[in-house]
Amino acid sequence: MEDRRGGGFGGFGGFGGGMPIRVGGRLGIGGFLLLLLLSVVFKQDFLSVLGGGQAGAPATSSRPVNDPAEEPMVQFVSFVLDDTQATWSRLLQERGVQYPRAKLVLFRDAVSSACGSARSITGPFYCPADQKAYIDLGFYDELKQRFGAPGDFAQAYVLAHEIGHHVQNVLGIEEKVRRAMRSDPGERNALSVQMELQADCFAGVWGHSTAERKILESGDVEEALTAASAIGDDRLQRMSGRQVSADTFTHGSSAQRVEWFQRGLQSGDPEMCNTFGQ
């Protein structure tokens, strides 16, 4: 796990290779324009450093770098990360495939990855180019408060879904889908839905393994199903005041997400997760 919660500029960390821009009377026009651009992009007042200090120093956060209140969640996601990957390592080894472990990056507010930069509002995501999953722990508060999906297994489902994307990358599915998207842009959304639903099914496969090992608690499955339903495209469109349009879906409807998670959960078999053959 890679902890970037205390990285410079809201999680971007080590901007400019760690070379500070000294400010004060000797700040050049280039440095000033850089600070102005950063202020606009990240909606933080980087120009305030003109009074002294270094622009290369981490931006002030309302929370400490290692917020003690977040530590139980850090320990929890670390456990889920290790357990999901141990499960997939075993499952793929049985099929003659070596499983290289993904990394999990914790960030706050914004982050850069090999797939580009992202802000917390984007939600958790996986980048195949660097084989890392990214999450701002604040998303779990949003999952509970905005989407009405509380519970530790709801949180585990979210991370298991992102590791599901890593499994797709390892198996070559991700690259095949990207090639198909490039060759037929009109099918981009439909292919995206199929890929996301397969990641949901893969999350269910891991959930099946936890049930076999009797580490599920009463209500855990319901929490995951609630989370899957809460972030369906149709529900999100309604929440934003838009008309539901299946042609614009990128992750699948609430019913589809629940259905595919359940398929993996009930079977424990990755072969049952062929969303592309439907």
For the chain, give every domain's residue range. 81-93+150-277
With contact defined as beta carbons under 8 Å apart, do 166 and 195 qualify? no
- pLDDT digit string, tens, across residues 98-146: 999 999 999 989 999 999 999 888 889 999 999 999 999 888 888 888 8
pLDDT at 62 over 90: no
Q: Output phi, psi for 116, to 5 deg.
A: 115, -175
Residue-wise pLDDT tens digits, 248-259: 999 999 999 999
Cα–Cα distances in Å, from 122 out to 14, 66, 110, 126, 213?
A: 22, 22, 9, 11, 34
Looking at residues 203-228, what average pLDDT do you find? Answer: 91
89 pLDDT above the threshold of 70 = yes
How confident is the prediction for the chain on average, in pLDDT?
Answer: 81
Question: At 271, which amino acid appears?
Answer: E
Q: Which of 267, 183, 259, 266 is nearest to 278 (CA)?
A: 259
Burial of 24 per CB tally in 10 Å (0-12, 13-18, 19+): exposed
pLDDT of 59 strictly over 60: no
Q: Which of 232, 250, 81, 86 is nearest to 155 (CA)?
A: 81
C-alpha 204/C-alpha 200 separation (Å) is 6
Residue 14 above 70 pLDDT?
A: no
- Flag whether pLDDT at 155 surpasses 60: yes
The phi, psi pair for 108, rounded to 5°, reads -135, 125
Question: Where do runs of H (alpha helix) occur along 109-267?
Answer: 138-145, 152-171, 173-183, 188-212, 220-230, 233-239, 254-267
Q: Select the more confidently predicted residue: 26 or 97.
A: 97
The structure's pTM equals 0.78
How much is the pLDDT for 65?
59
3-state helix, strand, coil in the chain (%, to 5): 60, 10, 30
Q: For 20-44, write each residue's pLDDT tens digit.
A: 323 333 344 444 444 445 444 444 5
- What is d(CA 21, CA 208) in angstroms, rounded to the nearest whole number? 52
Mean pLDDT, residues 186-211: 96
Residue 11 has pLDDT above 50, yes or no: no
Q: Is 116 helix (H, G, I), strand (E, B) or coil?
A: strand
**How far apart are the C-alpha atoms of 145 and 78, rounded to whole Å?**
23
Please tell me what DSSP assigns to residue 54: B
Do the bridges between strand 132-136 and strand 103-107 make them parallel or antiparallel, or are there none, so unpaired?
A: parallel
Q: What percent of the chain is predicted at pLDDT more than 90? A: 56
Higher-pLDDT residue of 85 and 55 is 85
CB 251 within 8 A of CB 196: yes
